Structure 1
Amino acid sequence: MSIKNILASSVAVLLLTFLSQTKAIAQSQYELNTGWKCGKATDIHTDGASISKNNFPINTWQNATVPGTVLTTQLNNKQIPDPFYGMNNERIPDIYKTGRDYYTYWFVKDFKEAQPQGNNQVYLNFRGVNYSCDVFLNGHKLNAKLHSGMFLRQSYNVSKWLANDGNNRVAVIVYPADVAGNPNGGQGGDGTIARNVSIQYTAGWDWIQPIKDRNTGIWDKVTIEKTGAVKINDPHVITLVSGVRQPEGPQQPAIIQVSAELQNAASTLVTGTLQYNLDGKAVSKTITLKANSTQTVQLDDYSLKNPKLWWPNGYGPQNLYSLNLQFVAAGKVSDQNNIEVGVRQLTSEWNERTESRQINVNGQKIFIKGGDWIISDEMLRFTDKRYDAEVRFHRDMNLNLIRVWGGALIERPEFYAACDKYGMLVFQDMWGSGDCNGRWVDPMKLDDQWTRRKYPDDHALYIKSIEDQVKMVRNYASLAIWCGGNEITPPEDILVALRDTVMPKLDNTRWFVEYSNSEKMSRNVLGGNGDGPYGIQPLSTFWDHRTFPFNSEVGSIGINDYEAFKRFMPVQNRIAPEYDASTGKTKTDSVWEYHKYIGYDTSINKYGKAKDLEDFSAKAQLVNYDQYRGLMEGFSSHMWDWYTGVIIWKTQNPWTALRGQMYDYYLDPNACLYGLHSGSEPLHIMYNPGDGTVMVANNTFKTHTNMMIVVKTYDMNGKDSLLTQVFSDITPATTKRYFSIKQELDKLAKNKGAFVDLELLDYNQKIISQNIYWVPNEKGDYTGLQSMPASQVSTTARQIAKGKIEVTLINPKNAPVAFFNRLSLVDGQTNQRLLPVFYSDNYVSVLPGTSKTVTIDYDTDQYPNMPLLSISGWNLKEQTVHIQ
């Protein structure tokens, strides 16, 4: 080895040793998330300076939930009924009628923190307050002027205001949004909620009732952060991956670029080193910071050799590197940030064939299969576990993108961490929606279109808030697209600032699209506004009706089964809707209407008129599965020909709504989820129900050779018939069409319908993709299903690891199809369904003479006792199985 290489090696070793030694004395941060008290401001006739002193009595104040909203606190103190149950929400006073003072509250927290020594510093941080506030600590007001804006972080250096004895009190008065809006039944009520830099759906939408306090409160995390003299603010990590990459095999280097804003709070010069370690390599730069100054520092580019790349779900692994960024002065860590880095590069380009934008990751085009996301909880009760569960459900649907809708918020870092983990690209709308912001003439709105196009009132606050939120989430690999708003741009001056200044300066590696259905994203060759259709569709529509080439919203139905209704609907309201085919209208109970039910129309009756709600919701699952499998199959059948992507409106609800959800608010999945799980498979065999064409969609980068396609049919008694089988090679990123089975199938299904089994086998005869359809008779009814013989399936379950259960379903030869079996883990004593639980598949059908294995994951910390397995199917009465 040359002297030069020896010296370089020695320096690297010394620096790595230094990093490992200094890491142990880094800054600490903790949340102030318990022990808060609150009181209504109209009942407290004292100023903030007095309230924030320890000698001011608060022992009679009520316990407060922070992070949380006023409604969350009231609910936890049993002052209001559960707004998610029945029509309880109507029993809660609405701020539009009560006035803002009714929901204006003081929040107080006592905490221990000693005064820092030397140049050490202590900061009090708020990640989100809605809508405005004043903050006091130990008798001192911390903010010079009223802090406003739901989406603007606050950080106060409180070093000199901490108490000598370490006993401190923070007091915050929180005021609701300046304009609460009239919840008159319109989208965003009368629209004036959008005058604030806040959340729009809180005045009500077509999928949610108004939230009575409009989410007033300290709704996001409050932290104490301790550092040395120098603090690291908003580090920025960019990864550049050139060329066209594959998930496997050796990789050419990737370039890592790291910068950060350094803030010196000391009254003297500070010289130190900004440094990080990545994959055993140290990168550093020595910096001298002036007293009481802030400076942005760019570290030298680092070439990461043979990087482990991050890929969207279905295309490759979600590799993440730990990057520990530190500022070290005088041998001590002044501050550090731990960042999980996904090495990938995002690009986009115009696809001339589809006339829409396509997304590329690491040089490879990605067919977007996405879901529209509102928010995790309407009362902003966010938790890491809930975020993880919800994003995991999207992974289990075989989706690869989540669009965060513009009437809500820029999602929290914990949401993005889950998306990084599960490979979900994120299409992030900014705050605003065409409904409130003037895209259409709307008699429900207070102001005219020209006035609404100027919302919000404070443009400078909006831009400042966007800048802040971009800095907060820009390091996440999953963040793929910034969008100006839902179905409309923000006002022109805001749009120009975002497009030409904010994004180029703060986050110039991602695609910025001006609004969600912009023609710059998807050419509206069909007219309309670039999304839809909404509502239940004939399956052939998804295959044969061409819609927008990058469709940001399509879909609708999605009720859960009967167990779900028990959680939020009074017994007297558990009445199945009745559809009248002669009038085309549905008779629904008032609670169903209040929870925004969207009709299944004639589709339930095709399976036989529902006897009761339990029967109705069971049959609805068949419709759910068929609709969402068919939706994704139809779009996939035309990928890269008609379409570059599709996003389902919508995959979840932040309350107990009765439309558009793959799982309910309580995290109980329904058959929509598993229909998508099937239809969105990366390598998927399917057929067009209109013309009977069998085809295979390959959403991977691999060529699959020597694959055999097998097509069988089964009658209602389980008798099978082989229609055909053929070998084929399947090239990457294509949908390959083979042959039509329409003629044979029409003949077989004429009287009672039939089952169609499509299988894709590899050269070792292993099933890679299986797809079982139930086909109606010539009149479009499922009369055969109604007279099926009883299932003979046997079920065993065994624990194969902590929190992991393997279920095997065996259907004997000469038996009927064991059709549409729902598996559930239930409590052994109460028989209540455990939630959330994750199934590798569900609503499964087992053909005669075959078996099927399903793996189940659940949280043993939440449910320490061994559960039971419940199984029921279309032709199987509910059974309980003990787990071995």
Structure 2
Amino acid sequence: LTINNPKLWWPNNLGNPNLYNLNLTATIDGKISDQQNIRFGIRKVEDYLNEQGHRGYKINGKKILIRGGGWVDDLLLADDHDKIEAQMRYVKHLNLNTIRLEGFWGSSKTLYDLADEYGILVMPGWSCQWEWEDYLGKKVDQYGGIITEEEMELISRSLEDQVKWLRNHPSIFVWVLASDMLPRPALEQKYNLVLDKTDPTRPALASCGLYDSEVSGPTAVKMNGPYDYVTPNYWYLDKEKGGAYGFNTETGPGPQPPPLESLKRMIPDDKLWPINDYWDYHCGRKEFNTLNWYLRGYENRYWKAENVEEFLQLAQVVNYEAMRAMFESFGVNKPEATGVVQWMLNSAWPEMFWQLYDYYLMPNGAFYGTRVGSQPINIAYNYGDKNIYVVNDTYQTVENLTALVKVLDIDSKVVYEKQLPVNIREYESNKILDLPVFENISTTYFLSLKISGEQEGLLSENFYWLSTKEDVIDFSDDTWFSTRNKSYADLSLLQTMPKAEIEAEHQFTNSGDDQILSTKLENKSENIAFFIELNVYNKETDQSILPVFWENNFVSILPGETKTIKAHYSQKGLNGGQAAFRFSGFNLTNSE
């Protein structure tokens, strides 16, 4: 079968995920004996090693920076089509292009069908559940628990079955044969025979960890953490473990406590504050059964909250800052950096750890930190060298742009402003400005970055809260799951910001099955309006309408500036009620 000039399948933000349908019919004496309808996409997948020896991937001959999240199924495998589709739409909205599956492959083809449709790459992992005695319930060695010839035969035949089931999905770009360990050499050889026979079109990856296989050579990827909180500069400064180089297949800055509305659904009212063992129950296991590591950074860099409302409002600031830095750093450090997978994307039940949105589909601050940090054209602050970069993840050269850089003190006084031209080739990262050191500026200050074009208008913007006191990481005092600091930045002046006033207008319009909220926010004051949370909710129940797709959220607005922001959501999510809009912020004199 030859298709001339096919429309290729492309991942999110890089082109359209074009799909074809193939109808096959077998007849005997003019009567239909069997028939199949197969949907497929046409694309080519390759892996490669960069100059530093790190593995990366190409789609249709083009390098792609893997930006992903670890997927988990519902605890009781109760995800229905609507919830899976909502999450695939979230992945796309986050500007991510990949989900990694490790032992959780969905209970049907729905996940893969939707990944095909939305242009989301899938990285299925085969073996974490039998690499550890806790999971398998039997003794394991350095290769896991698949030990005997009989076990290896069973597992390799099982892999063959799964590959045949899923191989027509263009979203699957690699078969991951092991997670935390290497497969036993004899087992890896069996796996390779299976793949040679059933699917020679995709690369295999022997392990998500950094290993050298006697069968296939170096994996050239890493899985060295961190898994708990690290300060934003970690990703730029670390050169030994999880930092922004190579392909980090599993990592992240630790917990993401959800907004208060979700917490109230998880924990009884009388246990909401202070943080207690009810909170811990909704954390993780072992090292991750407490928020203590996260709180060390939170309280040293910001301040100690006095109530649950204050704690969770500030937690979204921490979540946003920590997650944005991770995703931005891998973009800034291209081409040495080839990919990063946030551990994790979602949650199997209501919890505090490893989630860009929670079990109820409520986005937290990390969600919008990811969306901003993964913009296809991004203007970013490098927490390592403290300079300004423009990152182009697309396959188009962009020219004749203008970058605007502003530095403001805690009282919103502009202490530095510079406008400069920007041109950037496809899939490139360029430093555009050596940011000067500012003398006599407030300990906590702000950085506003924007990039625009005459025809395109505003393409990208970013807003940072920074400190003259540096985060100093102690790389000699680390653990397998995180790295400690010797000292921390001082962002405590955010508590003392002068008040700002926001004037808001909004309107609702229907668009097919969806409803669109458009809000115009104008800062009427001479002060920055910091970290404004926008919320669309059901007026009858006072609960957020979910899932919701804000163009931007947790936004900061400069003095005299106006922003228009839209949110899309399904009318079905109203459950017969009426939508309403409200907003809140750190230093606002008003809210709605």
Q: Which category describes the TM-score, using the shorter chain as reference length?
A: 0.7 to 0.9
- Cα shift readout 1:180-238 (whole Å, capped 9, x = no counterpart): xxxxxxxxxxxxxxxxxxxxxxxxxxxxxxxxxxxxxxxxxxxxxxxxxxxxxxxxxxx
Partner of 1:349: 48
For the residue of structure 1 that corresponds to 2:461, the secondary structure is strand
Between 329-338 and 772-781, the greater mean CA deviation after superposition: 329-338
Residues 832/522 of structure 1: CA separation in 2 closer, same or farther (3 Å cut):
farther
Does the 8 Å contact 2:55/2:220 carry over to 1? Answer: no
- In 1, are the aligned partners of 2:500 and 2:529 still within 8 Å (CA)? yes
Distance 1:492 1:665, change over 3 A: same
Cα shift readout 1:435-475 (whole Å, capped 9, x = no counterpart): 5169xxx9x97636379533587443323322222121111
In the alignment, residue 435 of structure 2 is paired with which amino acid? I
Give the TM-score normalised by the residue count of structure 1: 0.59
The alignment-based identity, stated in percent, is 30
User: 2:220 & 2:18 partners in 1: Cα distance?
Assistant: 39
Say whether residues 1:871 and 2:569 are aligned partners.
no
User: Aligned-pair distance for 1:519?
Assistant: 3.8
- 1:192 alignment partner in structure 2: none
Q: 1:616 is matched by which residue type in structure 2?
A: F
How many angstroms does 1:483 deviate by? 0.8
* Secondary structure of 2:128's aligned partner: coil
SS of the residue 2:233 aligns to: helix
Can you list the C-alpha shifts for 1:754-774, whole angstroms capped at 9, x where unaligned? 221111111347211101111
Determine the structure 1 residue equivalent to 2:37.
Answer: 338
Say whether 1:551 aligns with 2:248.
yes
Change (3 A) 1:646 1:346: same
Q: Match for 1:771: what amino acid?
A: N
* Aligned match for 2:312, one of 610, 617, 626: 617
> For each residue in 1:807-852, what CA deviation from the matched residue of structure 2 results, as whole angstroms up to 9, or x when unmatched?
2232245432222122222111121112222222211222222222
Tell me, in whole angstroms, the C-alpha distance in 2 between the residues paired with 1:572 and 1:821.
Answer: 28
| Whole-Å separation in 2 of the counterparts to 1:422 and 1:784 | 42
Structure 1: 5+ residue stretches without partners: 1-300, 578-587
Q: Deviation at 1:735? A: 0.9
Find the aligned partners of 2:200 and 2:35 in 1 and give their Cα distance. 25
User: Counterpart in 1 of 2:118?
Assistant: 422
Amino acid at match of 1:372: G
- Look at both structures and tell me which one has the larger radius of gyration over its CA atoms: 1
- Contact 1:719–1:814 at 8 Å: present in 2 too? no
Residues 514 and 334 of structure 1: is their aligned pair in 2 closer, same or farther, counting only changes over 3 Å? same
1:402 match: 99
Match of 1:366 in 2: 64
| SS, match of residue 748 in structure 1 | coil
Q: 1:566 aligned to 235, 255, 264, which one?
A: 264
How many residues align? The count is 555
1:736 aligns with 2:430: yes
Pair 330,790 (structure 1): closer, same or farther in 2 beyond 3 Å: farther
SS where residue 461 of structure 1 aligns? helix
Q: Report the 3-state secondary structure (helix = DSSP H, G, I; strand = E; otherwise coil) of the residue aligned with 1:449.
A: coil
Find the aligned partners of 1:347 and 1:512 in 2 and give their Cα distance.
10
The 2-side partners of 1:747 and 1:325 are apart by 74
Change (3 A) 1:860 1:451: closer
How far apart are residue 515 of structure 1 and its match?
Answer: 1.3
TM-score of the pair, normalised by structure 2: 0.87
1:754 aligns with 2:442: no
Q: How far apart in 2 are the matches of 1:749 and 1:316? A: 44
Give the Cα separation in 2 of the matches to 1:411 and 1:875: 46
2:206 is equivalent to residue 508 of structure 1: no
Code of the residue aligned with 1:708 in structure 2: it is T
Contact 1:391–1:419 at 8 Å: present in 2 too?
yes
1:662 corresponding residue in structure 2: 356
Aligned-partner Cα distance in 1 for 2:573–2:462: 34
559 and 402 in structure 1: CA distance in 2 versus 1, 3 angstrom threshold: same
- Cα distance between partner residues in 2 of 1:717 and 1:515: 51
Aligned: 1:772 with 2:484: no
What is the alpha-carbon distance in structure 2 between the residues aligned to residue 432 and residue 475 of structure 1?
A: 24
- Matched with 1:488 is 181
Asked if 2 retains the 8 angstrom alpha-carbon contact of 1:522 and 1:530, the reply is no
> 558, 563, 566: which one pairs with 1:855?
566
Residue 486 of structure 2: aligned partner: none
Give 1:709 shift. 1.4
Change (3 A) 1:690 1:505: closer
Supply the distance in 2 between the matched residues of 1:635 and 1:787 (Cα, whole angstroms): 33
Alignment partners' CA distance in 1, 2:6 and 2:491 = 53
Pick 1 or 2: higher relative contact order, CA cutoff 8 A, min separation 6: 2
CA RMSD of aligned residues (A): 2.7
Runs (5+) with no aligned partner, structure 2:
285-289, 471-488
Change (3 A) 1:714 1:814: farther
- Secondary structure in structure 1 of the residue aligned to 2:437: helix
- Asked if the contact 1:433–1:486 (Cα under 8 Å) also holds between the matched residues in 2, the reply is no
Contact in 2 for aligned 1:595/1:656 (Cα 8 Å): no
Distance 2:314 2:131 in 1: 34
Matched with 1:707 is 401
Q: Which residue of 2 aligns with 1:316?
A: 15
Contact 2:133-2:140 at 8 Å conserved across structures: no
Name the CA distance, whole Å, in 2 between partners of 1:737 and 1:452: 44
Within-5 A mapping of 1:665-744: 665-744=359-438
Contact 1:795 1:807 in 2 (8 A): no
Map 1:532-551; keep pairs closer than 5 Å. Answer: 532-546=225-239, 547=243, 549-551=246-248
